[in-house]
Structure 1
C-alpha cells in the first residue's frame, strides 16, 4: 500500500489557515500529482451542507448515517463525531491528508499566524507559518519550531513531505 501522510494546520480565525491549505492542496494536486484529502474542524457547528426541506436533510435529520450520491459527487452526512482513524477510513485513497483545526490530534502541526502570535499554541506547534507582519524577536518561540513563510507554498509543502505523519 502506498504511503499516506497527514499534517494539521491550526491558528486563530482569519489567520490564513484556509487560504494556505487551499494553495497547498492545489499545488500538491496539480504540480506534485498527489491525491489530497482535507478534513476541516467546525468547532462551533456553524457549517451547513444541506437545505431544510430537501430529502437529504430529512434523511439526515432522522439521526441516520446518510450518503447522497450523484454522477458528480458523493456526500456523507453523519450525526456522530468521528475520531481521526474513522475519518481516514471514509476516504478511499489519498497521498496527503490536510487537517484544519483539531489541535488535539496526534499530528505534526503547522500553526498559521499573522499580526501577532498566541503562545497558547506553542505546545501544539511543530512549525509556524507567518509573514513579515510578525516580528519573531518579540516572542520566545520554542527552539524546535520551524519557521515557514506563509507565502512560500513550496517551502510549506517541502516541510509537509519531510515532517508529516504516516497514517
Structure 2
C-alpha cells in the first residue's frame, strides 16, 4: 500500500477553511488522481445528518453505532467522539486525509487567516495560508512557519506533499 498522508487546517470561523479544503480536495482528486478523505470537527455540535422521525435517526437515537447503506452512499452515525486512529480506520482506503479543525491532533497544520491573525494559533501553526488582506509585518510570526497564498491551490498542495504526516 502506498503511503497515506494527513494534514490539518485551522482558523477562525469564516476564514476560508472549508473553501480551501474543497479546492485542495478537488484538485488532488481530479488533477493528481488521489483518493481523499476529509474529517471536519464540529465543536458546537451543529451538524445534522438525518431528520427526526426517519429510521436512521431512530436507530442513531438509541445510542448505537449505525451504518446506513444505499446504492450510492454509506453513512456512519456514531454517538461517541472518535480518536484520529479510529476515524482513519473507518475510511480504510485513501491517499490523503484533510482534517478541518481539531487543533490538538498531532498533525502538520495550515492555519488560515484573513484580515487579522489570532496569535493563540501560533503554537499549532506550521504554515499560514493568507491573502493580501493581511500585513504580515504587523505580526511576530514564529520562525519556521511557511507562508502560503490562500488563492494558490498548487502552493498549498505542494506544501502538503512536503510536510504532511505519514499515517
- Determine whether 1:88 maps to 2:92: no
* Superposed CA offset, 1:101-122 (max 9, x none): 0000000000000000000000
Structure 1 runs of 4+ aligned residues shifted over 3 Å read: none
- Tell me the residue number matched to 2:101: 101
* Superposed CA offset, 1:33-90 (max 9, x none): 0000000000000000000000000000000000000000000000011000000000
Measure the CA separation in 1 of the matches of 2:119 and 2:163: 22
Unaligned runs of 5+ in 1: none
Report 1:95-134 matches (<5 A). 95-134=95-134
Q: Secondary structure at the match of 1:26?
A: helix
TM-score, normalisation: structure 2:
1.00
Count of aligned pairs between the two proteins: 167
Unaligned runs of 5+ in 2: none
Deviation, 1:144, is 0.7
- Tell me the residue number matched to 2:42: 42
Deviation, 1:92, is 2.2
Deviation, 1:2, is 1.3
Report 1:12-51 matches (<5 A). 12-51=12-51
* Superposed CA offset, 1:110-159 (max 9, x none): 00000000000000000000000000000000011000000000000000
Deviation, 1:96, is 0.2
Q: Secondary structure at the match of 1:9?
A: strand
Measure the CA separation in 2 of the matches of 1:137 and 1:15: 20
CA RMSD of aligned residues (A): 0.3
- Tell me the residue number matched to 2:161: 161
- Tell me the residue number matched to 1:145: 145
TM-score, normalisation: structure 1:
1.00
- Tell me the residue number matched to 1:62: 62
